[in-house]
Amino acid sequence: QVQLVESGGGVVQPGRSLRLSCAASGFTFSSYGMHWVRQAPGKGLEWVAVISYDGSNKYYADSVKGRFTISRDNSKNTLYLQINSLRGEDTAVYYCAKDGDPYRSGGSYYFDYWGQGTLVTVSS
């Protein structure tokens, strides 16, 4: 069965950096685009970034462009999100989510599996 397990969250001071990971299993990771979606406490869902199945294409939300970097290691079945210059508004649960179909070149799609999420709290 598909499993996505995020890690790397925690309490971080404003301006610092953090790297989130998402370990995938139960499907052919290298065939699927992967996304990060976040949810601030008590708020709705906000898409953050996507990376194509082969890592060649990446897209970001305007709110994180230039500060966040999405990457993947298909040999380790792991997705990453490097978060720099953290701000209070980045406080959220960060979910990794899997594209609904394989071999897409990136961009917008629906998400058929989600991880449980990892909480990032930005606070001094």
Interface residues with other proteins (CB under 8 A) are 44-47, 50, 59, 61-62, 95, 100, 107-117
In which residue are the tokens 């449980």 written? 116
Among candidates 1, 25, 21, which has minimal Cα distance to 10?
21
Burial, 48: exposed, middle or buried (Cβ in 10 Å; 0-12, 13-18, 19+)?
buried
To other proteins, the closest distance from the beta carbon of 45 in angstroms equals: 4
Q: Rounded to the nearest 5°, which phi and psi values hold at 6?
A: -85, 155
Kindly tell me which of 72 and 98 has the beta carbon lying closer to other proteins.
98
To other proteins, the closest distance from the beta carbon of 3 in angstroms equals: 12
Kindly tell me which of 7 and 17 has the beta carbon lying closer to other proteins.
7
Contacts of 95 (CB under 8 A, 6+ apart): 6, 36, 37, 38, 39, 114, 115, 116, 117
Kindly tell me which of 13 and 89 has the beta carbon lying closer to other proteins.
89
Cα gap 105→93, rounded to integer Å: 26
To other proteins, the closest distance from the beta carbon of 106 in angstroms equals: 8
To other proteins, the closest distance from the beta carbon of 124 in angstroms equals: 27
Kindly tell me which of 6 and 18 has the beta carbon lying closer to other proteins.
6
